[in-house]
Amino acid sequence: MTALLTILVLVFILVAIWQMVKIFDLTQGNSRGAHNQIANDKDNKYQGYLMLGFLVFIYAITIFSFVEYGDLPLLSNSASEHGPDVDRLMILSLVVIFIVQTITQFLLHYFAFKYRGEKGKKALFYADNNKLEAIWTIIPVIVLAALIIQGLFTWNDIMNVNEDEDPLVIELYAQQFNWTARYAGNDNTLGKANVRLIDIDKANVLGVDESDPNAQDDIITKEIHLPVGRPVLIKMRSQDVLHSAYMPHFRAQMNCVPGMITQFGFTPTLTTADMRNTPEMIDKVANINQIRAEKSEELLAKGEDALERYEFDYLVICNKICGTSHYNMQMKIIVETQEEYDAWIKDQKLFKDSLNK
C-alpha cells in the first residue's frame, strides 16, 4: 500500500512539474506563431550574457572546490618512497590542466558573448589558417612530451622491483570479502601455494603447499606490519574473483587476479605513529571526529549506538567490484620501527605450527 501511495505521489510530482512547464509554455502567449522558435536578437543578447555568467560560474565552482575541498586530495601525505614523485607529477599535471582550462573556457564563453548575433551583422569568412593550426598542434605536443617522459620515468621507477635491495616479501591474499597476509619467514621465500590445496579442516585456508620446505616458516596474519624504510614486495593472489589492493597512502595499487600472481613493490617511509602526528593528519582526523561526533548525537537521539572515535591507520582496501560486501573489504597496515616489527613477528605462529593435526 505504501508502495502504491509513493508511486502515486511520485507520479503527481512529475505531473506537477509537467503542468508547470505547460503553464509556462502557455503564458508565452503567441509564442507558437511563425518564426518565434528561432533565436532573435533579444535571445542572442540574453543568452550571450548568460554565457558570460556561466564562465563566472565555472571559475566560481573551481575556486569554491579548491578552497572547500582542496585539502581532501591525497597530495600532502604520501608515506612511500615513490609517493612524492607521483605527487609532484600530479601537481604538475593539475597546474597544466588548470592553466589550459582557465584559458580555453574563457575564450569559448567570452567569444560566445562577444560575437552574439545581431541582425545585419556579417560574420567573418575565415575558413583556415595553417599557421594557427600548426601552433595548437605543436604546443600540446611539447607539453605532452614533457608529461609523458616524466610519467614514464616515474612509472618505470615504481614498477621496477630491485631484488638486490632484499625486499621483504609478503603475500596479500584476497577473497570475498577480506584480506589475509602471508609473510615469507626467515628464508624470505614464500612457500608454493594453490587454491586446490586449500584444506579447511586442517586450517590451511590459503592453500599453502604443506610439503614445501619454504612454506614451513611462513606466517599467516590478519594485519600487515611493515618495518619503516625497508623495501617491501607484495605478491598478490585471489581465490575467487578480481579484487584490487589499493593502498592510497603508499600510492600503491594492483589487481589480485585468480590464477596468477601479481606484485607491487614500495618502501614505506613514515611509521603509523609519525603519520598520525603530521599536522595535516591531525587536522584531518580532528575534522573527521567532529563529523562523527555530530553524527553520534543524531544516532543517540534515535536510540542507536554512537560511532567510535576515529584514529588514523593505513589500510589496504578493495578497489575492484567484487560482490555484495565490496564496500567493506579492508585490512589494517601498520608501519613501525624495525624493533617493533621484530617483536611483533616473533609472536606470530609459523605455518607449520598453525595447522590442525
When the beta carbons of 92 and 345 are compared against another protein, the nearer one is: 92
The string of DSSP codes covering 96-112 is HHHHHHHHHHHHHHHHH
Region binding another protein by CB under 8 A among candidate stretches 162-170, 239-247, 267-275, 334-342:
239-247
Positive or negative torsion for Cα 54, 60, 64, 66 = positive
Region binding another protein by CB under 8 A among candidate stretches 138-146, 209-217, 218-226, 227-235:
138-146
Write 43-48 long-range contacts (CB < 8 A, 24+): 44/116, 44/117, 44/118, 45/116, 47/116, 48/112, 48/113, 48/114, 48/116
Candidates 254, 270, 275, 331: give the one binding another protein (CB under 8 A): 254
Task: Give the integer Cα–Cα distance in Å for 196 and 199.
Answer: 8
When the beta carbons of 273 and 285 are compared against another protein, the nearer one is: 285
Minimum CB separation of residue 185 from another protein in Å reads: 23
> Which residues within the stretch 22-81 sit at the binding site for another protein (CB under 8 A)?
22, 24-25, 28, 31-39, 43-44, 46-48, 50-51, 54, 57-58, 61-62, 65, 69-70, 72-75
Minimum CB separation of residue 219 from another protein in Å reads: 21
100 scored as a contact of another protein (CB under 8 A): yes
> Which residues within the stretch 261-290 sit at the binding site for another protein (CB under 8 A)?
262, 284, 287-288
Minimum CB separation of residue 335 from another protein in Å reads: 16
Q: Is 153 helix (H, G, I), strand (E, B) or coil?
A: helix
Minimum CB separation of residue 186 from another protein in Å reads: 28
Candidates 56, 63, 84, 104: give the one binding another protein (CB under 8 A): 104
Region binding another protein by CB under 8 A among candidate stretches 111-119, 179-187, 211-219, 272-280:
111-119
Task: Say which DSSP state 223 is in.
Answer: S
Strand duo 330-336 + 224-227: pairing = parallel
Instruction: Quickly count: other Cβ atoms within 10 Å of residue 244's Cβ.
Output: 21
Minimum CB separation of residue 342 from another protein in Å reads: 28
Grid coordinates given for 317: 582496501
Q: How many residues bind another protein (CB under 8 A)?
A: 139
CB 286 within 8 A of CB 249: no
Run of H or E residues at 140: helix 130-159
214 scored as a contact of another protein (CB under 8 A): no
Strand duo 178-183 + 168-175: pairing = antiparallel
User: What's the full length of the chain, in residues?
Assistant: 357
Minimum CB separation of residue 165 from another protein in Å reads: 18
Task: Give the integer Cα–Cα distance in Å for 121 and 84.
Answer: 55
162 scored as a contact of another protein (CB under 8 A): no
241 scored as a contact of another protein (CB under 8 A): yes
